[in-house]
Structure 1
Amino acid sequence: MDDAFSFLPPGGQTGAEIRARDWSGTSVGPPERWPQSLRSALSLMLSCPTAMFLAWGPDLLCFYNDAYRPILGYRLPTALGHPFREVWASIWDEIGPLVDATLAGQSQTLTDVMLDLSREGRPEQGWWSFTYSPVYDEAGAVSGLFCVTAETTARVLGERRLRESEDHFRHTVELNPQVPWTCDPDGNIISYSNRWLELTGQAPGEPDGSGWAKSLHPDDVPWTMTVFASCLASGEPVDVNYRIRIAHTGEYRWMRARARARRNEGGAIVRWYGVVEDIHDRKLAEDRLQEMNATLERRVADALAQRKLWADVFETTDALVAALDPDYRVLAVNRAYADEFESIYGVPIAAGDNLLDRLEAHPDHREAARAVWSRALGGEEFTLVETFGDPERKRPAYELRFTTLRDAEGRRIGAFQYAQDVTERLRSQEQLARAEEALRHAQKMEAVGQLTGGVAHDFNNLLTIIRSSVEFLRRPNLPEERRSRYLEAVSDTVDRAARLTSQLLSFARRQPLKPEVFDLGERLRGVADMLNAVTGARIRIVAELPDTPCHVRVDPSQFETALVNLAVNARDAVEGEGTLTLRLTCGAAMPSIRGHAGAAGPFAAISVADDGSGIAPEHLSRIFEPFYTTKEVGKGTGLGLSQVIGFAKQSGGDIDVASRVGRGTTFTLYLPHVEPPEPEIRPEDEASEAPVEERSLCVLVVEDNLDVGRFCTQLLEDLGHSIVWAHNAEAALAEFERVPFRFDAVFSDVVMPGMGGVELARRLKADHPNLPVILTTGYSDVLAQDDAHGFELVRKPYSAEQVARALRTVLTRRRPSASIRRAPGL
């Protein structure tokens, strides 16, 4: 009997419900009479993983796919085959006009629409994006509407929270007495607080770009812009003083502008963050200090014999001023210094006193004063900041400046200290630091959100396939053909999940590598043939390779994966037709890449060039980020280039990219060049020896995870081996001490509580040199940093064949040579 629903794709809960329903009493009639247009629309919709629904016929009967089912909520039991208006009666006022316009032949697209869907029978606000399209029958008339929908609630609420966070940060910036500002890598001002407008009288937008310089004193503009341009070019922090005109007084005040560059992961500058602070009063005080110091130097020679100094010189400032001779005797102090000293130590100080004697009751402070003044009295001029933790102090923080005192003949006669209260300045710096930290945290959370969102999206897709397949495999009456199909789907999906985690670990430089020394030219000749299958017949592959060998020490599997990822990018860039050029240069130096210093090398440089569409400049700085892609949905995961840069960095190299829009792109992979390996000498008898005979082994399994341990022991028993299971490394060593030489091999996890698998393997090797040890892990920081551990490695998730192959490999390596077996007396 013919299947009336043969046009429906196999599998799926909704497909099963469509088959089970009696359609004779509906307006669409039995499926044998359904038009081809309805059949095609249903087949397309049920095969798509995106949430969709179809409303068909004069009653607009409701059809949908599995992805749409959760959206229906409590309506699900009464939705299939019922009029669309009845199904969504609660929001018909909002979507009714969309339906009418679509049935009139007009496609409709709405983004972030707020609806009360009441999916659980109670009011529920959510945001959605819809695309309504008319569906035409064979006569060209509109017979229904087709809708692709996606919930955007999480994004809308996330953007709302981000706006609130930005508003909070903006208010924090505006309350800062300093002037925070930012500029782009070329020095164009792009943001600033309103404090700048209040000070200068400039209008909003006027300081943008280089407009801020209009507020500077004309004499200060040339050297200010020179310092600014020099810092932009070198990446060094900006620190420059200049005068600006204050709007409400018309006077000029001294300002200090400082800024530091923020760089991306590649080291390129993406933005400058700075602050402008008012230093006018301090600048004037410094000028007065210089004048005072000059006066003091001129007059100190006459005053030394009488020990009588004119304190009135020092009383022109409220800073703390003192001068000592080489024997730590006070030459002069001002009233501010004397008052502060007495308030701290309870004793007065005046000209003629010995500073160290006055501090005798405070030995810690005495030694600290000796240390700092000895530097100044020795001729060193310096500045330091001293802070005090006591909140009751009148002045919790000082900036101490020490200057040499000389007589009229230029001889050094002592040292001069100028202490200024910088408490408010330090508080402003702390506020700016907190604001900068808040901004860095927000940027970090944005990057984490992108990464976790990408991982969740891809893994949920894979888990959907596995879960659906397992549900069908549980059916006792499932045909064998479909059972095989679902088993293959589960196996393929596990492989895809393993590749996904491998790419993420490769980007993070945490992928356990198995490096080998090989000739790049020979490997590239072999890979070129494989790339033909990846790129297609319409793309010509040209290999420009040297005749001389060029050896590197890298993981060959990861290297080939990187080349395939670069080739796939090139294939997509040329849109299926063009030229892909592989070029190898040996002994090259590695240039500076993304702001990182270059290296003399030598390096092997492998270039993959295409003549495709190129990469826009605004995308170049982000192409190596995980899950970042400019391709259409479904055309790429955004992990290919992440794997390439992670592999390159972990192997001691890097990758550079050069691109011109419309002219093509060249990726250049740099890997450290090494000397060729020593030829392996093997006896002729051993080289021709037959493979190791399969036999039952006694294997010690070391695994702390109970589920994985049960699975592994069952797997090895099914392979015909006897098993002893230890739950950690310490228990495994105890098994060896109890019955030495009992085991033929060890199969151990790497990451375990207490002693790890690598340390266990090394201890076993020290006591049992010929014992084969196989390590297994899904991720290990130890293996990612040390690829020279020397043990066979099986990556999780593993198959029975991979474990069996690893056992054969280690047993072959353990086999004694032919010369030893033929030794007399054995």
Structure 2
Amino acid sequence: MFEQAPTLMALLSGPEHRFELANPSYRKIVGGRDVLGKTVAEALPDAVEQGFLKLLDEVYQSGRPFRADGIKYAVQPVPGGPINECYVDFVYQPLRGRDGQITGIFVEGADVTDRTIGTELLRESEARYRMLFDAIDQGFCIIEFLDGPHGPASDYVHIEANEAYARHAGIPNVVGQKLREMVPAEADDWVARYGEVLRTGQQIRFEQMLIATGRHLELAAVRVEPPSRRQVAVLFQDVTARKQAEKALRDSEEQFRVFAQTVPNHVWAARPDGLLYWFNNRVSEYAGASSTDLEGVEWTKIVHPDDLKKAAAAWERALTTGAVYETEFRIRRHDGVYRWFLVRAEPVRDEDGTIVNWIGTNTDIEHSRAQAAELANLNATLEQQVQQRTGELMAAEEALRQSQKMEAVGQLTGGIAHDFNNLLAGITGSLELAERRIAQGRVDEAGRYLGAAQGAAKRATALTHRLLAFSRRQTLDPKATDVNRLVVGMDDMIRRTMGPQIAVEVVAAAGLWATLVDPNQLENALLNLCINARDAMPDGGKLTIETANRWMDERAAREREIPPGQYISMCVSDNGAGMPPEVVAKAFDPFFTTKPIGQGTGLGLSMIYGFTRQSGGQTRIYSEVGQGTMVCLYLPRHLGEVFEQGIQAEESAPSLEAAGQTVLVVDDEPLIRLLVVEVLEELGFTAIEAGDGPSGLKILQSDARLDLLITDVGLPGGMNGRQMADAARETRPDLKVLFITGYAENAVVGHGHLEHGMHVMTKPFALEQLTERIKALIEPS
């Protein structure tokens, strides 16, 4: 029984703890060493170094048993050889002779390595899930249906909610609250909507007023699988401001129309190019035609031939310069008679100064002097009121544009709801199963579910990074890059990806300028474009990658919506199916895809567009059905030393001896500080913590030795991480700095323009990546 026992057992005799017995399980845990007849000090020097011999002495001398759970034991069977780590539960039980004196110690225990590692992985996965859950800017909750007095599934309780829930819905501390207790008057309507989602599994999007708080919400709901959980996930945002702006715009437009119809003058509106599109009733009466018939009519057809040249020249100057148009000419009446008018038009501009339309008036000047003076006074009043109304209209349009920007975020909400909640379901489900298996003692099976949870969390991180690229908020690491060298370096990968049916040609421009860009993101963009081209040529074809130097004059730059200047272009073209204009117009929209469900997220092109815009450039698509597609990236020229890929310090991190080296960790999130300090202590560093900018700067300005500063960018206390690092370098010019940042602080870091010795990592990150980055930054002292 002793030899076949699955637990580890050994018998030690005497104060020197000499091995009398040791079963196979014990010999296995100590690396298969022959221990019989030897003392612990002779047989297991690694155990002595880790304090186990001291514990044995205490048990032998005191006569009190010792028990420990989950103790780490680093096994080194051969001195100087490899070290294997394991975790054990064990007990040291003193043995007594007939005279009551201690004669030896019985050792009994079990290898619990799988259980311990599984528990740690479970804890880490739960922390990552919570970080992702609370990072969503929109309100998010999971509700679970309950049976009640009103019938089956007639109520629900909020079982989870993120921090943004209260901000958008106006209801704090919602977790644990039942619907009919929160908003009893509205409960039936909400139960009906979400109950249909639970019953059918069909995702819904809708807008509804939350009467209890006066908030107008835009919502998306999806069932959490499996249906037996009776849960629905809801993602929403407050669109009250957009609704108010739309109403204000409608009211302002209606007021303008009423006013324009009451004045005796002709009032009209034109598009930016001068094409007339709206008229008041005075114009219709004068022309003898309806407003519909007048739309799009060339104004040159109603101007007297002798006045046409003067009127056209003045209009051309106004269109070119954006100045007020004002001149006199004769306009034909419906009976063929021409009358003199003073024609005046004011440009209406948006917030960028671009003309969006013209508001004009025609004043009849063929009256007596007295009538002319009266009309002049009326016209001045009209102009003042038109300007006032125009200002109100512009303000309302600005509010509407802002609300439309928010609505675009709402469209993203609907797009990510299904994918993100599938990931959440995968994470929570895997963690739940892992917890059950561990509780059942089936530890070997827990790893599979923990791996699944890790995979889902990584896919959620990738989705977040794609959304940040689309929103132009991702943290970039721009370097002066030779795009030709980058393309050549990816040539083999691209050819393998394309397959034998597609011919790949690279046309590299001689003397190509450098550009300041994140090379890793540019590689991702190029690979995405090549994969899209491959999918557009299912029967094979030709793919061409071409680079060129580009001088953008005012006209070319205006067409591409970029400043004039020098750019480099990288174009990927194919001779595949091509796209119709309506598809090209939507190609950069988030989650728009022409691929079947499950074969594309619709974020690839929007991610590329966001990346190039954030890099100061532009992306354009040129396509024709049946002829193929070309996608061009335009990036600004950079004058400076070219970044050599493949020699980054991160890729050749030195071996590290951390003795005596100290790292300052500054972050207002205790969990982040805990994780970073754990990594540092595992590497052997001394870690100092601070929770805000002023506290961190106080330490930096002290005499303490500091070899590295690791800091978040967004910090409380009136000083962000970049400001703190800059201030510290006044007295520590060689201090190395690692920024760990979320998407919004990229601008504070300096749009990617970091000083020498400053580096950046994006949250969330794997602890292994953090470890390698720290090793790369701190060389042995």
The interval holding the TM-score normalised by the smaller chain is 0.5 to 0.7
Correspondence for 1:782: 748
**Pairwise CA distance, 1:607:** 1.4
User: Which structure has the larger Rg?
Assistant: 1
Q: 2:676 aligns with which of 700, 706, 712?
A: 712
Are 1:491 and 2:454 matched, yes or no? Answer: yes
8 A Cα contact 1:237 1:261, kept in partner: no
Correspondence for 1:759: 723
Identify if the C-alpha distance between structure 1 residues 520 and 760 changes in structure 2 by more than 3 Å, giving closer, same or farther: same
Q: Distance in 2 between matches of 1:694 and 1:560?
A: 35
Identify if the C-alpha distance between structure 1 residues 646 and 147 changes in structure 2 by more than 3 Å, giving closer, same or farther: closer
Q: 1:203 aligns with which of 283, 290, 303?
A: 290
Correspondence for 1:799: 766
Paired residue type of 2:416: D
Correspondence for 1:519: 482
**Pairwise CA distance, 1:456:** 5.7
Identify if the C-alpha distance between structure 1 residues 691 and 444 changes in structure 2 by more than 3 Å, giving closer, same or farther: closer
Are 1:466 and 2:424 matched, yes or no? Answer: yes
TM-score, normalised with respect to structure 2: 0.59
What CA deviation, in whole Å up to 9, does each residue of 1:258-317 have, x standing for no partner? Answer: 36487899x9x9x95222213335x979xx7xxxxxxxxxxxxxxxxxxxxxxxxxx998
8 A Cα contact 2:512 2:568, kept in partner: no
Q: Distance in 2 between matches of 1:167 and 1:458?
A: 32
**Pairwise CA distance, 1:427:** 1.8
Correspondence for 2:691: 727
Q: Distance in 2 between matches of 1:632 and 1:193?
A: 50
Are 1:692 and 2:655 matched, yes or no? Answer: yes
Q: Size of the alignment, in residue pairs?
A: 555
Q: Distance in 2 between matches of 1:207 and 1:128?
A: 53
What CA deviation, in whole Å up to 9, does each residue of 1:24-56 have, x standing for no partner? Answer: xxxxxxxxxxxxxxxxxxxxxxxxxxxxxxxxx
Q: Distance in 2 between matches of 1:120 and 1:482?
A: 43
Paired residue type of 1:669: L
Q: Distance in 2 between matches of 1:168 and 1:463?
A: 40
What CA deviation, in whole Å up to 9, does each residue of 1:406-465 have, x standing for no partner? Answer: xxxxxxxxxxxxx99834421221112212332343244224202332146326632542
What CA deviation, in whole Å up to 9, does each residue of 1:554-605 have, x standing for no partner? Answer: 211121122133224333444574322101224755742526476452x332
**Pairwise CA distance, 1:174:** 1.9
Paired residue type of 1:203: S
Paired residue type of 1:797: P
Correspondence for 2:605: 641
8 A Cα contact 1:587 1:673, kept in partner: no
Q: 2:360 aligns with which of 253, 276, 292?
A: 276
Are 1:811 and 2:778 matched, yes or no? Answer: yes
Q: Please identify, of 641-650 and 514-523, the stretch whose mean Cα deviation from structure 2 is larger.
A: 641-650
**Pairwise CA distance, 1:694:** 4.2
8 A Cα contact 1:187 1:209, kept in partner: no
Are 1:239 and 2:328 matched, yes or no? Answer: no
Identify if the C-alpha distance between structure 1 residues 259 and 576 changes in structure 2 by more than 3 Å, giving closer, same or farther: farther
8 A Cα contact 1:180 1:274, kept in partner: no
Correspondence for 1:773: 737
8 A Cα contact 1:72 1:119, kept in partner: no
Q: Distance in 2 between matches of 1:553 and 1:804?
A: 28
8 A Cα contact 1:128 1:153, kept in partner: no
Identify if the C-alpha distance between structure 1 residues 128 and 702 changes in structure 2 by more than 3 Å, giving closer, same or farther: closer
8 A Cα contact 2:344 2:361, kept in partner: yes
Q: Distance in 1 between matches of 2:153 and 2:470?
A: 46
**Pairwise CA distance, 1:807:** 1.0
**Pairwise CA distance, 1:657:** 3.5
Are 1:175 and 2:258 matched, yes or no? Answer: yes
**Pairwise CA distance, 1:703:** 0.6
Q: Distance in 2 between matches of 1:606 and 1:434?
A: 44
- Give secondary structure in 1 for the equivalent of 2:360: strand
Q: 2:397 aligns with which of 439, 442, 447?
A: 439
Gaps of 5+ in 2: 1-141, 155-184, 210-215, 219-238
- Give secondary structure in 1 for the equivalent of 2:436: coil
The residue correspondences of 1:84-233 to structure 2 (distance < 5 A) are 149-154=202-207, 168=251, 170-177=253-260, 188-192=275-279, 196-198=283-285, 200-210=287-297, 216=303, 220=307, 224=311
Q: Distance in 2 between matches of 1:619 and 1:213?
A: 37
Correspondence for 1:581: 544
Q: Distance in 1 between matches of 2:192 and 2:285?
A: 43
8 A Cα contact 1:466 1:490, kept in partner: no
8 A Cα contact 1:237 1:260, kept in partner: yes
Identify if the C-alpha distance between structure 1 residues 636 and 257 changes in structure 2 by more than 3 Å, giving closer, same or farther: farther
Are 1:613 and 2:577 matched, yes or no? Answer: yes
Correspondence for 1:38: none
Q: Please identify, of 503-512 and 579-588, the stretch whose mean Cα deviation from structure 2 is larger.
A: 503-512
Q: Distance in 1 between matches of 2:273 and 2:670?
A: 58
Correspondence for 2:713: 750
Paired residue type of 2:343: R
- Give secondary structure in 2 for the equivalent of 1:606: strand
Paired residue type of 1:640: G
8 A Cα contact 1:129 1:152, kept in partner: no
- Give secondary structure in 2 for the equivalent of 1:797: coil
Q: 1:540 aligns with which of 503, 510, 516?
A: 503
8 A Cα contact 2:477 2:752, kept in partner: no
Correspondence for 2:406: 448
Q: Distance in 1 between matches of 2:314 and 2:498?
A: 51
Q: Distance in 1 between matches of 2:342 and 2:681?
A: 78
Q: 1:594 aligns with which of 545, 559, 566?
A: 559
Q: Distance in 2 between matches of 1:579 and 1:71?
A: 59
Paired residue type of 2:362: D
Q: Distance in 1 between matches of 2:151 and 2:413?
A: 31
Q: Distance in 2 between matches of 1:473 and 1:765?
A: 45
Q: Distance in 1 between matches of 2:417 and 2:200?
A: 26
Identify if the C-alpha distance between structure 1 residues 278 and 738 changes in structure 2 by more than 3 Å, giving closer, same or farther: same
**Pairwise CA distance, 1:520:** 2.1
Paired residue type of 2:295: D
What CA deviation, in whole Å up to 9, does each residue of 1:1-31 have, x standing for no partner? Answer: xxxxxxxxxxxxxxxxxxxxxxxxxxxxxxx
Higher relative contact order (CA 8 A, sep 6+): 2
8 A Cα contact 1:658 1:666, kept in partner: yes
Q: Distance in 2 between matches of 1:212 and 1:635?
A: 52
**Pairwise CA distance, 1:550:** 5.1
Paired residue type of 1:202: A
Identify if the C-alpha distance between structure 1 residues 709 and 679 changes in structure 2 by more than 3 Å, giving closer, same or farther: closer
Identity of aligned residues (%): 25
Q: Distance in 1 between matches of 2:251 and 2:192?
A: 26
TM-score, normalised with respect to structure 1: 0.56
What CA deviation, in whole Å up to 9, does each residue of 1:650-701 have, x standing for no partner? Answer: 4343334333333222222233445673899xxxxx9xx9933343653221
Q: Please identify, of 180-189 and 582-591, the stretch whose mean Cα deviation from structure 2 is larger.
A: 180-189
Correspondence for 2:137: none
**RMSD of aligned alpha carbons:** 4.9
Paired residue type of 1:431: R
**Pairwise CA distance, 1:774:** 1.4
8 A Cα contact 1:509 1:784, kept in partner: no
Paired residue type of 1:516: K
